[in-house]
Amino acid sequence: MRTKSYRRRQPPHYKHVPQRTCVGCRTTKAKRELIRLVHTGNGSVEVDAEGKKAGRGAYLCHRQSCWEVGLKKNRLEYALRTKLSVENLQTLREYAKTLPEEAS
C-alpha cells in the first residue's frame, strides 16, 4: 500500500517581463516594445536599438506623436538629465520621421 505524498504543488512559473514608462505618453509597456535612448559618457544622446549601451537611458514608444511630445516639452532632457545639443535634436527628429504615426 502506498502512502500519499503531502507535497504541495508548485504554481506555474511565469517569466518576469521588465516594464518601462514612455517619456512621451507616460504609458507603461514591456521594455522590448519601447525604443531606448541613452545619454552616453561623451555627452551625446543616441538611439540604443539593442538596449545594452552604457549610460543613462529613457524610453519612447514607436510613434511619432510620443517623440514629438518627448522632444518638444523637454521631457527627454529631464529624463536623461542633460541638455540636448542642436545636432542631437536634429538627429532624433530625423529618426522620429521614420516611425509610423500610430503604432500597430
E strand map for the chain = 19-21, 28-30, 35-39, 45-48, 56-60
Q: Which domains does the chain have, with CATH numbers?
A: 19-97 (3.30.1230.10)
pLDDT at site 39: 95
Which of 71-102 are b and which e, b meaning 16 or more Cβ less than 10 Å from the residue's Cβ? beeebbbebbebebeeebeebbeeebeebeee
pLDDT of residue 41: 85
Alpha-carbon distances of 104 from 11, 26, 47, rounded to whole Å: 34, 18, 21
> How much is the pTM?
0.82
pLDDT, one tens digit for every residue, the chain (104 residues):
566 666 777 788 888 999 999 999 999 999 999 999 999 988 899 999 888 899 999 999 999 999 999 999 999 999 999 999 999 999 999 999 999 887 55
